[in-house]
Amino acid sequence: MQGLSGSHPAEAGRGMWGYGLPSRLFNALRRGSALFVASLLIVGMSAAAEAAPIKILAFGDSLTAGFGLAPGEAYPVKLQAALKAKGYDVTVINAGVSGDTSADGLARLDWALQDHPDYALVELGANDMLRGLDPGDARTNLDKILSSFAAAKVKVLLIGMQSSKNWGAEYKQRFDRIYPDLAARYHVPLYPFFLDGVALDPKLNQPDMLHPTAAGVDVIVARTLPAVLGLLGAPSPVSPRS
């Protein structure tokens, strides 16, 4: 009687699988087991992907970056806290750069997309207006930014700005039309004016009367939150973490 080391190939199925199992059937079962394990791994990877936080890219200028504020007082930080309080598992990425025009934002967009966001809040144009730059150029830059987000399958909330009256009625009309026009063209939701309820209020602005205080950011978060919730839809159930 041969030992295990000298077993005939036809006897490979002996043991826990049953005495005398044909080798073809044994190998088929073995392959099936490997496929089963692989399927479990795929399911596990899918579950891990589903559990990953939603990424929201706050893509803007100093109003997004939090100029003059402590790190924990910037709009992206407070928006993330507000969304988490509503049951959303999110990470809001602060991609605001102080002083950026729409052209500057366009120039760094590819870099910002490396974060692979699911959503983007586009807040640019204030510095174009403050410098009196051609509204046509701002429109072109923002158009390209929205086109790039659309190509990357990133859902966008366009956040508008409004021109002051310093540059005249014609300039203001041309500038203020940029945001509703582009929102309609790309079929994206629009929050018309980022500083709504805050602009020109000395109690809610820093001494330059251009940048909100921490209290001003609270007002902006409260006012923009419904638009952001509309962009995200209902929150997915968050699994408890150990």
pLDDT reading at 186 higher than 50: yes
Note the pLDDT of residue 36: 52
Please write the tens of the pLDDT for every residue from 33-91.
Answer: 555 545 555 545 554 445 689 999 999 999 999 999 999 999 999 999 999 999 999 99
pLDDT reading at 155 higher than 90: yes
pLDDT reading at 20 higher than 60: no
Cα(207)–Cα(211) distance, integer angstroms: 8
Ordered by where they begin, the domains of the chain are 13-48 (no CATH), 53-232 (3.40.50.1110)
Note the pLDDT of residue 21: 52
Note the pLDDT of residue 237: 64
For residue 160, give the nearest of 118, 202, 128 by alpha carbon: 128
Please write the tens of the pLDDT for every residue from 107-130.
Answer: 999 999 999 999 999 999 999 999
Cα(44)–Cα(41) distance, integer angstroms: 5
Note the pLDDT of residue 236: 73
* Residues with active-site annotation: 62, 208, 211
The pLDDT confidence band at residue 32, using thresholds 50, 70 and 90, is low
Mean pLDDT, the chain, rounded, equals 86
Sign of the CA dihedral with 185 first, then 187, 58, and 106 last: negative
Note the pLDDT of residue 12: 44
Note the pLDDT of residue 235: 86
Q: Give the mean model confidence (pLDDT) for residues 184-211.
A: 98
pLDDT: which is higher, 77 or 4: 77
Let me know the angle formed at the C-alpha of 231 by 139 and 120, rounded to the nearest 5 degrees: 50
| Range with the poorest average pLDDT among 10-14, 130-134, 227-231 | 10-14
For residue 102, give the nearest of 121, 130, 125, 120 by alpha carbon: 125
Q: Give the mean model confidence (pLDDT) for residues 205-227.
A: 98
